[in-house]
Amino acid sequence: METPSLMRLATVQVPTAEQLDTVNGLDESTVNAIWAHFVPIKTGVLNKQDVQEYLSFYFRTLWHFKPVIPRHYRDRSKDVLLIDREPLLTITLLVLASRWHPLAGPHGEIRSERIHWQLWKYLQTYLNTVLWGSNCTRSLGTIASLLLVIEWHSKATNNLSQLCEDLEDGVTRRPRAGLRGIEQTTKLPSAGQHSYEAASALERLNILSAAHRSSKMSWTLLSVAISLAHEGRCFENPLQHKSSACSETEKAEQEWTKLLCVFLFMADENLALRLGREPLLSESARQTVMTRLSASFASCLDDSFIWESTLELYIEHRKARQSIQALATGRPGSEYESPNVLPTLEHIQRNLARWRRRHKTGIEGSSSTLHHLLDIEYRYSLLYSFSPALAFWRHHEANRHPQDQATGGNAHLYSQFAHVTKQASQELLSIVVYSLEPLNLLRYAPVRFWAYIIPTSLYLIKASLILPTRPGEILENTKLLHALVGAAKRSSPDDLHISVSFSQSLEALLRVTLDLCPDDSSTGLPQTGQQSGNTIPSSSSLGEDENANLLMFNQFQALERMDFGSFDFLGNSEAWFAASDLIWPES
């Protein structure tokens, strides 16, 4: 296969930047030359009609989820400009579209499958040029490409053997044997090395290993995107370096730069939450987004109110993350004695409630389906912020002082926050099942929404088993989670998508947890046997297939022991995936 080269386009005679503002500025021979020199077309991977069909699908269906590309490119007459100016971005769009969209005509699904894998090879090569410092890929389109690959993955990303090809054994297995030999004579760095090895061990055991790779891959891609943005001075005020009026082309570039800065900020905050790390963006860059860009970036977007509200929610979420992480400092377990926990949770609650009041009318009045996605973001903010209350409630219940028996003490207050979190998890999953899936939005949902759905479903199981419940609530939660299993199965674009393994694992987990609970319970499961309520399902109630059910029962016991409300566990979504390693080993 011919190695793609961005430099080939330099030989095509193109008009000036002013002429490129409209396709009418290109003569027919130039347009034909640009199409002919586009590498996937030149090498016969697909034809012009296929490219146009894929781009139409992307801008019609996926663009609204993450509008990091200026909307004037939604005009199909601008396809030739997109190919000429941003070939890497075009390849990225084609890779994503070919996974979710079968081509029209005979054998369209098979053709899209073949095209997807061939285009992936080109995308890998282009991304390599970014890493090795090629000037051809220093562009706004490259930053947009990296953000899109973070949001939606190719099939290869979900299949490690295809991602690393024949290098898999050499990259992962043989060096690991070498490390064992080194350990006998050399002391390895304890903290960092332990973290890498622990993550690798989880991946080898976990049916959701694609989720681990997704988070790590996304973090790496984001760091490259942020580096390119700083290199291009994207976070600086362009007016500081301009003394004359801007041309239309320069204005369009400034609008695109503004968009990318904001979406880099949101991706950084989201991944910092998922991985439990400090954000990659510098403080000055974050302040630029929160002060100078927040008020005007959405003016060039459809559904501008939705995106302004989303950015403000991310800013509130950032404050909540910082407050919660500040409580977790010090010796292990010291947060249980901290007098700042309840005031911190109450402060976060007021901030989120204020955001909700300010934006609720505009969100609910929006005709856009994107308001469902913002509702999910808001519920996950509640879940993340208040989920530690479950651990605090259990701790105070187990160590309640006699004089607190009548009033309940702090345990009662923590219980209220824990119930808020449980309600948020119910509402989040209800939106997924009864809003996103009927509208066919779940099929195209970006990766970050699956990073919300997976821990939320686990939390709802755990909270249902522990917290006191009203009569019939466990049955309602069980039905909701089974409906989620069905929605995930129906919404999978292919067998490699994370929704497939997630739905299978959740269905198996339900069989040994909520499916075994009485549907009229009014109390949850005790943690240590000191509280009254239901008992943990016993191995005698597991059914006919003794070996399989006993394995699943043992996995449920691991779920029961896992403290889903502790700071070190719920501080990041990656820990949720670690919990699923204990519960859902790969079969």
> pLDDT higher for 38 or 410?
38
**Contact assessment for residue 300 and residue 253, using Cβ atoms and an 8 Å cutoff:** no
> Which of the pair, 395 or 295, is modelled with greater confidence?
295
> Mean pLDDT across the stretch 247-269?
91
CA 183 – CA 163 distance, rounded (Å): 29
d(C-alpha 146, C-alpha 223), whole Å: 10
Q: Which of 66-75, 224-233, 246-255, 470-479 has the lowest mean pLDDT?
A: 246-255
Q: What is the mean pLDDT of residues 217-238?
A: 92
Q: Do residues 508 and 548 lie in contact, with contact meaning Cβ atoms separated by under 8 Å?
A: no
Residue 585 three-state SS? strand
Q: Which two tokens stand for residue 170?
A: 């050499």
Kindly give, in sequence order, each residue whose CB lies less than 8 Å from that of residue 392, ignoring residues fewer than 6 positions away.
336, 341, 410, 414, 565
pLDDT confidence bin for 452, thresholds 50/70/90: very high
- pLDDT band of residue 395 (cuts 50, 70, 90) is confident
Q: Is 189 a residue whose pLDDT tops 50? A: no
DSSP class per residue in 411-445:
HHHHHHHHHHHHHHHHHHHHHIIIIITTTT-GGG-
Average of pLDDT values for 565-574? 40
CA–CA gap between residue 451 and residue 432 (Å, rounded): 13
370-386 vs 341-364: helix crossing angle, rounded to 10: 170
Residue-wise pLDDT tens digits, 297-322: 988 888 888 999 999 999 998 999 88
| Closest CA relative to residue 314, chosen from 293, 342, 328 | 293
Q: What is the pLDDT of residues 324-336, one digit of tens each?
A: 888 766 555 555 5
Average pLDDT of the residues of the chain: 77
Give the pLDDT band (50/70/90) at residue 457: very high
Among the ranges given (91-105, 441-455, 471-485, 546-560), the one the predictor scored with the smallest mean pLDDT: 546-560
pLDDT at 374: 93
Q: How many helices (H) and strands (E) does the chain have?
A: 25, 0
Single out the residue of 411, 442, 432, 526 nearest to residue 480, CA to CA.
432
Question: 267, 68 in Cβ contact below 8 A?
Answer: no
248 versus 552: the higher-pLDDT residue is 248
From the list 562, 469, 453, 550, the residue with the least C-alpha distance to 511 is 550
Q: Which residues of 404-442 are buried (b: 16+ CB within 10 A; e: fewer)?
A: eeeeeebbebbbbbbbbbbebbbbbbebbbebbbeeebb
Question: Looking at per-residue confidence, does 229 or 397 come out higher?
Answer: 229
Mean pLDDT confidence for 367-375: 86
CA–CA dist 166, 430 (Å, integer): 43
Q: Contact at 8 Å (CB) between 163 and 157?
A: yes
527 in Cβ contact with 432 (< 8 Å): no
Average pLDDT (145-171) is 72
Provide the pLDDT for residue 432: 97
Whole-number Å distance between alpha carbons of 106 and 490: 23
How is residue 538 written in tokens? Answer: 């016993």
Q: What is the pLDDT of residue 585?
A: 34
Give one DSSP letter per residue of 511-564, joined into a string.
HTTGGGS-TT--S---SSS-S-SPPPPPGGGS-S-HHHHHHHHHHHHHHHHS-T
Angle at 87 between CA 83 and CA 90, to 5 degrees: 75
Q: Is 460:387 a contact under the CB 8 Å cutoff?
A: no
Alpha carbon distance, N-terminus to C-terminus of the chain:
37
Indicate if the pLDDT at residue 58 is higher than 60.
Answer: yes
* Alpha-carbon span 483 to 503, nearest angstrom: 10
What would you measure as the largest C-alpha separation in the chain, in angstroms?
Answer: 88
Given a contact cutoff of 8 angstroms between Cβ atoms, the answer to whether 575 and 396 are in contact is no
Q: What does the pLDDT read at residue 199?
A: 45
Q: How far apart are CA 229 and CA 118, in angstroms?
A: 29
Residues 115-134 pLDDT 10s: 999 999 999 999 999 988 88
> Above 60 in pLDDT, residue 520?
no
Q: Is the pLDDT of residue 556 over 70?
A: no
Higher pLDDT, 404 or 339: 339
The predicted model gives 461-478 an average pLDDT of 88
Give residues with Cβ within 8 angstroms of 84, minimum separation 6. Answer: 9, 12, 14, 20, 34
Say which amino acid occupies 365.
Answer: G
**Higher pLDDT pick, 370 / 481:** 481
pLDDT over 80 (residue 534): no
Nearest alpha carbon to residue 10 among 42, 41, 33: 33
pLDDT at 12 over 50: no
Residue 395 CA from chain centroid, whole number: 31
The number of angstroms, rounded, from the C-alpha of 160 to the middle of its chain's C-alpha atoms is: 19
| Contact status, residue 382 vs residue 420, Cβ threshold 8 Å | yes
* 71 and 32 Cβ atoms separated by less than 8 Å: no
- DSSP run (H or E) holding 136: none
Higher-confidence residue of 545 and 485: namely: 485
Give CA–CA dist 380/534, Å, rounded.
Answer: 28
Question: Which of 56-70, 150-164, 252-266 shows the lowest per-residue confidence on average (mean pLDDT)?
Answer: 150-164
**Bigger pLDDT: 465 or 147?**
147
Q: 399 pLDDT band (50/70/90 cuts)?
A: confident
Residue 183: the pLDDT is 35
pLDDT at 555 over 80: no
Centroid of chain to Cα 375: 15
Average pLDDT of the residues in 498-515:
87
pLDDT of residue 41: 96
**Structure-model confidence comparison of residues 128 and 12, the more confident one:** 128
- Choice between 551 and 378, residue whose per-residue pLDDT is larger: 378
Instruction: Name, in order, each residue with C-beta under 8 angstroms of 308's C-beta and a sequence gap of 6 or more.
Output: 294, 298
Rounded Cα distance, 501 and 495, in Å = 9
Give bridge partners of residue 548 from the DSSP assignment. Answer: none
Residue 586 has pLDDT above 50, yes or no: no
Q: What is the pTM of this model?
A: 0.81
Structure token pair of residue 7: 């430099």
Coil vs helix vs strand at 470: coil
pLDDT (0 to 100) of residue 533: 39
